[in-house]
Chains A and B, each alone.
Chain A
Amino acid sequence: MDIFLQQLINGLVVGSIYALIALGYTMVYGIMQLINFAHGEIVMIGAMVTITCINLLLGMGVQMPGPVLLLVGLLMAIPVSMFLGFAIEKVAYQPLRKAPRLAPLITAIGVSIVLQQVAMLIWGRNYRPFPSILPTEVHIIGGAAITDLQIAIIVLALLLMGGLFYLIEKTKLGRAMRATSQNPEVAKLMGVNVNHIISMTFIIGSALGAVAGVMVAANYDQAHAYMGFMIGLKAFTAAVLGGIGNIGGAVLGGILLGIIESLGSGYLGDLTGGVLGSHYKDIFAFVVLIIVLVFRPSGLMGERVAERA
């Protein structure tokens, strides 16, 4: 098998998932300069709800093809995540709009802890296996293996990103979102309902997060109450890498990060004779991030913040 191509494919799959999650971070940050620490937990809840739904349906003896089952589960999970995103913003962030910048960060961490614990109460502290409902056959392309699921992840992620771009660039809602991120005060004066826009941002980001959560669970065959933390961290890193607040940047950052991680952990082990093996996989994300920020403090696609008096 062609190792390079294989790692590239794996990286692309993981990267598209990072990108979807990163979009949630970057949209919220773009509009309210807030790191939504709880976004990773929304991703986790999305995965958990989907698994539960599929298991319920299977338990009831419902006869449906795997992908359809998955879709049904996903359609149940998306509204749950959307509602959560909406509620979190209303309860934990909105009252603190005028507070010192760190206050909402602390409530975000609080929400994150609460959601993790609630998830543990509901789903237990063990790994939940992803039901084996999906075909596992493997296509060989140019010496590398790719599953239907991986193809579906990449395609679906691209479709969703495309949809988001359309939404932001072409619709009235998107225009209002862009206006709010430029200057909320002025947007308000121009008749934009800023609270509504912020809610919508959370809702859309959470929906994308739920989808990403299901992708993670399906790709790794499991889900866990703490899974949101690391994946959220990586996705946020991706958003910063691309230039936080920038939609295109989040996509670029996510995919790049996935590929770098995948290639890095694949090759570093070989190059160092197994000494610096895949244990160091998680380091790549951060090393790359630090290097990029040192040389391009606003991220790859971030606007250069003009020196201002």
Chain B
Amino acid sequence: MTDVLLKISGINKRFGGLHALSDVGLTIKQGEIYGLIGPNGAGKTTLFNVLTGLYQPDEGEFTFNGKDLFRKKPNVVVEAGIARTFQNIRLFANMSALENVMVGQHVRSVTGVFGAILRTPKARAEEAAITAKAEALLAYVGIADRAQELARNLSYGDQRRLEIARALATNPTLLALDEPAAGMNPKETDDLKKLMEKIRADGVTILLIEHDVKLMMGLCDRIAVLDYGKKIAEGVPEEVKSNPRVIEAYLGVAPE
């Protein structure tokens, strides 16, 4: 539990005049569930997008699993082992659930144009493996029975699950989840929590942004708090909860 998996330091990101992230640094260790919280507009999603390659930071360092990922494209980041979901679900709406997960395996498969056209034994074997793994992943997140349904027709909760399955299909070392519980009822949230614990137990490290503070405190091993683009605290939930700067910035001046 002590190996550092991901390390960033001195990350700065500006949008025009807005300094969205200033000098942010953090480390995520192998096998933990790492939470990222902060008030609205604190820069959580910006940081999340930096960590998944969608935004190119202006300055800083970013290493993951021994690889330098500073200012690398999302597909390179995925290849290195970081997979993500989106806050406002971005599935391939007119593809089936199964196809969505199959797309997720793109980066871990190799069949090219000629393999596909000639349908070589190798290509066929790979295609079969992709299908099998996709089915297994749908079962893993609990929506095996919806495999042939178009992603757009799935219920909201199932869409969230499908996004997680699709991300897992890239064989990530780190799974980054952007508000996976948003819009969920308590029952769904509870199921999601179990799913995340299962994923972690299977050896995948998790980075999590969430608004549901109770959920975060109960689930995360360590938490970082962002406010106005700066990291104001980092530590185990208990520490963070009692940190006065956090209470002031995030939980409001008067703690319960």
| Touch test A–B (CB under 8 Å) | yes
10 CB < 8 A contacts A-B: A306-B15, A307-B54, A307-B55, A307-B56, A309-B45, A309-B49, A309-B54, A309-B55, A309-B86, A309-B87
Chain B residue contacts of A307, Cβ below 8 A: 54-56
Chain A proximity of B226: nearest CB distance (Å): 16
Q: Contacts of B45 on A, CB cut-off 8 Å? A: 309
Chain A residue numbers with a CB within 8 Å of B49 are 309
State the 8 A-B residue pairs at the shortest beta-carbon distance, nearest first: A309-B49, A309-B54, A307-B55, A306-B15, A309-B45, A309-B86, A307-B54, A309-B87
Segment 254-309 of A: residues with Cβ below 8 Å from B: 306-307, 309
Interface positions of B from 8 to 37, Cβ below 8 Å from A? 15
What string of 1s and 0s marks CB contacts (under 8 Å) between B67-91 and chain A? Answer: 0000000000000000000110000
Q: Which of B45, B55, B56, B86 has the most CB of A within 10 A?
A: B55
Q: How far is the CB of B54 from chain A (nearest CB, A)?
A: 5
- 4 further A-B contacts with Cβ under 8 Å, apart from A307-B54, A307-B55, A309-B49, are A306-B15, A309-B45, A309-B54, A309-B87
Considering the chains assembled together, what is the distance between the CA atoms of A306 and B49 in angstroms? Answer: 13
Digit string of B41-71 for contact with A (CB within 8 Å is 1, else 0)?
0000100010000111000000000000000
Interface residues on B, range: under 10
Min CB distance, A297 to chain B, in Å?
15
Q: Which A residues are in CB contact (< 8 Å) with B87?
A: 309
CB distance from B28 to the nearest CB of A (A): 20
B45 to A, closest residue via Cβ: A309
CB of B8, distance to nearest CB on chain A (Å)? 18
B53 → chain A closest CB, angstroms: 11
CB distance from B94 to the nearest CB of A (A): 11
- Report the separation of the CA atoms of residues A112 and B66 in the bound assembly, to the nearest whole angstrom: 59
Q: How far is the CA of A306 from the CA of B45 in the complex (A)?
A: 15
CB-nearest residue of chain B to A306: B15
Closest CB in chain A relative to B113 CB, distance in Å: 25
CA distance A309 to B55 in the complex (A): 8
The chain A residue with its CB closest to the CB of B54 is A309
CB distance from A67 to the nearest CB of B (A): 49
CB-CB under 8 A from B56, the residues of chain A are 307
Q: Chain B, 114-148, contact with A by CB distance < 8 Å: what is the 0/1 string?
A: 00000000000000000000000000000000000
Which residues of the other chain, A, contact B15 by a CB distance below 8 angstroms? 306
Q: Kindly report which residue of chain B lies nearest to residue A307, judged by CB atoms.
A: B55
Please name the residue on chain A nearest to B52 by beta carbon.
A309
Contacts of B86 in A (CB 8 A): 309
Residues of chain A contacted by B55 (CB below 8 angstroms): 307, 309
Q: Chain A, 222-258, contact with B by CB distance < 8 Å: what is the 0/1 string?
A: 0000000000000000000000000000000000000
A309 to B87, CA, bound (A): 9
CB distance from A116 to the nearest CB of B (A): 36
Tell me, rounded to whole Å, the shortest Cβ–Cβ distance linking B82 to chain A.
15
Once bound together, how far apart are the Cα atoms of A143 and B150, in whole Å?
Answer: 70
Q: In chain A between 57 and 102, which residues have their CB closer than 8 angstroms to a CB of chain B? A: none
Q: How far is the CB of B44 from chain A (nearest CB, A)?
A: 12
User: Complex Cα distance A306/B54, Å?
Assistant: 12
Within 8 Å CB of A306, what residues of B?
15
Task: Collect the chain A residues with CB atoms within 8 Å of residue B54's CB.
Answer: 307, 309
Least CB distance from A45 to B in Å reads 40
Cβ contacts under 8 Å, A309 to chain B: 45, 49, 54-55, 86-87
> What separation, in Å, do the CA atoms of A127 and B45 have in the docked complex?
61
- A70 smallest CB distance to B (angstroms): 48
Complex Cα spacing A219 to B44, Å:
59
- In the bound complex, CA of A281 to CA of B45 (Å): 49
